[in-house]
Amino acid sequence: MVCAKSQVLDEKGIKILKALAEFTEPATCKQIAEKSGVPVKSVIGKMRALVRAGYVERPEKGKYIITDQGREVIKE
């Protein structure tokens, strides 16, 4: 059985987190996609899992920020 953490933190998940870390304000999926190079549909699909895992927060509808836990993951 594949670890759920590895599914969330696959190549796309890491790219999304790294892109989010560069924003100083909450970002939309479109902004994240442009910065990360990950297609918008993939970003949208991945965000729910990243939020559920605690790596990303959604402070307002349609906008996301990286959490301290998310920052720790991309440092490794």
| pLDDT at residue 13 in the model | 95
Chain segment 15-24, per-residue pLDDT in tens: 999 999 999 9
d(CA 39, CA 76): 24
For the chain, which domains are there?
4-75 (1.10.10.10)
The answer to whether 13 and 56 have CB atoms below 8 angstroms apart is no
pLDDT classification of 6: cutoffs 50, 70, 90: low
| pLDDT at residue 9 in the model | 87
DSSP-H helix ranges across the chain: 4-8, 11-21, 29-36, 40-52, 68-75
Its pTM stands at 0.88
The average pLDDT across 48-60 equals 96
With a CB cutoff of 8 Å and minimum separation 6, the contacts of 57 are: 51, 64, 65, 67
Dmax (CA) for the chain in angstroms is 37
